[in-house]
Amino acid sequence: MGKLSIISMLCVLILAMLGGFCNAHKVTKLHFYVQDIISGPNQTVWEVARAKITSNSPTSFGLVKVVDDLITATSDANSEALGRLQGQITFADLEESGPVMNFNVVFKSGAFSGSVITLSGRNDASDKYREYAIVGGTGVFRMARGHAITSTYSVDSAKGRFVFEYTLYVVHGKSSTLFDM
């Protein structure tokens, strides 16, 4: 093999490695709490639709709720506000309780302010830990993929308050913010 072809092979190798570094993906782990209020003056979850079958269905089939929950840094509702969990819950299983969850995690403060992560999945009530897919994102989280694990942290039935704990493992492009306008 001639000197030139070895040099050109090396060049190709170096370029490929550089390309690999530039496209490198980053895994960001996020941990936060969601304040869910189902009754009272500051209610954050509202029913928007139901079907004829809903009230007779053991799984509330056909019910659709819209959610705008506060996201906090700790389980305390008065801890640092990070953003909102916004979207809808659709009761779409005739036989078991397992609504379809479609949410945007909307960051409103900190390093991720203005960025969004979009979650979609099944909330199987019989599972202590539920898993949702991270199906996309914007801003820092452009091209996001990954998964979210959620569990019920606390329930206060008298006040209609639930606290959910979320851990997200987000795979996203390292250089995505370079293209912000």
Ligand X SMILES: *[C@@H]1O[C@H](CO)[C@@H](O)[C@H](O)[C@H]1NC(C)=O
Non-local (6+) Cβ contacts of 36 within 8 A are 44, 45, 67, 69, 161, 162, 163, 164
**H-helix or E-strand containing 5?**
helix 3-22
Task: Determine contact, residues 172/140, Cβ cutoff 8 Å.
Answer: yes
Residue 157 interacting with ligand X (CB under 6 A): no
Burial of 107 (0-12, 13-18, 19+ CB in 10 A): buried
Residue 40 interacting with ligand X (CB under 6 A): yes
127 vs 167: CA distance, rounded Å: 16
Residue 41 interacting with ligand X (CB under 6 A): yes
Give the nearer residue to ligand X in terms of CB position, either 19 or 40.
Answer: 40
In the complex, least distance from residue 18 CB atom to ligand X, rounded to whole angstroms: 51
User: Hey, how many other C-beta atoms are within 10 angstroms of the C-beta on 36?
Assistant: 19
Residue 42 interacting with ligand X (CB under 6 A): yes
In the complex, least distance from residue 73 CB atom to ligand X, rounded to whole angstroms: 17
Give the nearer residue to ligand X in terms of CB position, either 40 or 114.
Answer: 40
**Contact region for ligand X (CB under 6 A) — 39-47, 86-94, 117-125, 140-148?**
39-47
Residue 177 interacting with ligand X (CB under 6 A): no
Subset of 131-150 contacting ligand X (CB under 6 A): none
Chain residues in the site for ligand X (CB under 6 A): 40-42
